[in-house]
Structures are given as structure tokens and as C-alpha cells.
């Protein structure tokens, strides 16, 4: 049995405590290790048992326990409520595609004979769309200050205007 999971299944334990799961705290250490391995291995009994070094029969016994099955259901419910498709994830996926769009990595292309080949091709419209979406959308505005008699402003006042980024002097009348 993998001692790191049985002695201290912390990743799932911390999540369980943070989310106020009701069945997780009632499980024994070995049961917590099984639940963690079972979920981590995409609900594969064979893979979870293999990771823990237990028999499939022992894994089935864990699954037949009411608290274990309820703990798995609770964790699954919380995992289902996670929003993976957020803006950060979308930007990360676009950045993975960007080298293909600018022709740095080969992409599949179908020839006029119907043969599929891999080739580097520049897609300017796609590259620009990625840049427009990924690039920060900040706009810096500049305020023009017209001063009727700039000589009335002291050097300190002019420096304060420039330092604060309040604007620039565009005319002197």
C-alpha cells in the first residue's frame, strides 16, 4: 500500500475540510486513501487498487461501505461545480494554439489530392484575434491641459502635474 496516501491523504483532506464535507471526516485513514485514489484514477477500481497496492476485492469492500460511497458522491458533486472554462483557461488554450497560428509549429493541411500533411502555415487573421483577446485591454488616456499663462505656474507645480500623470501641456497662450 502506498504509505503517502494511507498515512496522510492531505490534498483531498484539505479540500474536504474547506468544503465542509460531512462524510469525509468519518472515514478511516485507509478509506480516505481509497477515496482519494479512486477519484484521482478517474473512478477506476483497478487503477485505484493498483496505486494503493491492495486487491480488487478489498477495493470492492471499500466501495460497498455506505460512508465511502457517500464521500465519493460528495467529492464528485463538488468537482462537478468547478468552472474550468474560465477566462484564464481560455487564454491558456489560445496561447497553446498561437505558435501554430504564426507558423512556428506544423498543422495538418489537406492537399488538393486529399492527402493530409503536416506543414507550417501562417494564419494572420487567427494570430491577430489571439493577440487581441490575450493582450491587456488597458487604455491610457492623456488629458490635455491648456494654460493661459504657463509662466504663472511654478516649476514645482509643473513637475507635480507631470509626475502625477495628470496630463501634458499642449499650448502656451
Q: 148 pLDDT band (50/70/90 cuts)?
A: low
* Co-location of 68 and 27 in the same domain: yes
Q: 145 pLDDT band (50/70/90 cuts)?
A: low
On average, the pLDDT of the chain sits at 78
Query: What would the mean pLDDT of 35-42 be, rounded to a whole number?
Result: 90
* Co-location of 36 and 66 in the same domain: yes
* Co-location of 100 and 143 in the same domain: no
* Co-location of 69 and 106 in the same domain: no
Please check the confidence at residue 172 and state whether its pLDDT lies above 80.
no
Q: 35 pLDDT band (50/70/90 cuts)?
A: very high
Show contacts of 132-140: CB within 8 Å, 24+ apart. Answer: 133/91, 133/94, 134/91, 134/94, 134/95, 134/98
- Taking a C-beta distance cutoff of 8 angstroms, is the pair 63, 69 a contact? yes
* Co-location of 19 and 58 in the same domain: yes
The pLDDT assigned to 19 comes to 54
* Co-location of 124 and 150 in the same domain: no
* Co-location of 49 and 96 in the same domain: no
Please check the confidence at residue 15 and state whether its pLDDT lies above 80.
no
* Co-location of 103 and 117 in the same domain: yes
Which cell goes with 94? 489560445
- How many structural domains does the chain have? 3
* Co-location of 37 and 69 in the same domain: yes
> Whole domain around residue 168: which residue ranges?
139-173
- Rounded to two decimals, what is the model's pTM? 0.41
Which cell goes with 52? 494503493
* Co-location of 102 and 161 in the same domain: no
Q: 126 pLDDT band (50/70/90 cuts)?
A: confident
Please check the confidence at residue 2 and state whether its pLDDT lies above 60.
no
* Co-location of 161 and 130 in the same domain: no
Amino acid at each position: 500500500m502506498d504509505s503517502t496516501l494511507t498515512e496522510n491523504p492531505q490534498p483531498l483532506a484539505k479540500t474536504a475540510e474547506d468544503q465542509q464535507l460531512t462524510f469525509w471526516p468519518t472515514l478511516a485513514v485507509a478509506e480516505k486513501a481509497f477515496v482519494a485514489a479512486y477519484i484521482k484514477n478517474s473512478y477506476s477500481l483497478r487503477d485505484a487498487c493498483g496505486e494503493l497496492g491492495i486487491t480488487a476485492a478489498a477495493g470492492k469492500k471499500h466501495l460497498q461501505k455506505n460512508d465511502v460511497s457517500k464521500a465519493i458522491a460528495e467529492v464528485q458533486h463538488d468537482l462537478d461545480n468547478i468552472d474550468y472554462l474560465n477566462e484564464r483557461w481560455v487564454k491558456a488554450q489560445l496561447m497553446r494554439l498561437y505558435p501554430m497560428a504564426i507558423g512556428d509549429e506544423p498543422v495538418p493541411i489537406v492537399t488538393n489530392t486529399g492527402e493530409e500533411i503536416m506543414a507550417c502555415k501562417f494564419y494572420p487573421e487567427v494570430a491577430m484575434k489571439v493577440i487581441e483577446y490575450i493582450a491587456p485591454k488597458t487604455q491610457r488616456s492623456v488629458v490635455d491641459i491648456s494654460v493661459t499663462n504657463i509662466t504663472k505656474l511654478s516649476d514645482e507645480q509643473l513637475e507635480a502635474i507631470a509626475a502625477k500623470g495628470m496630463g501634458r501641456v499642449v499650448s502656451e497662450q
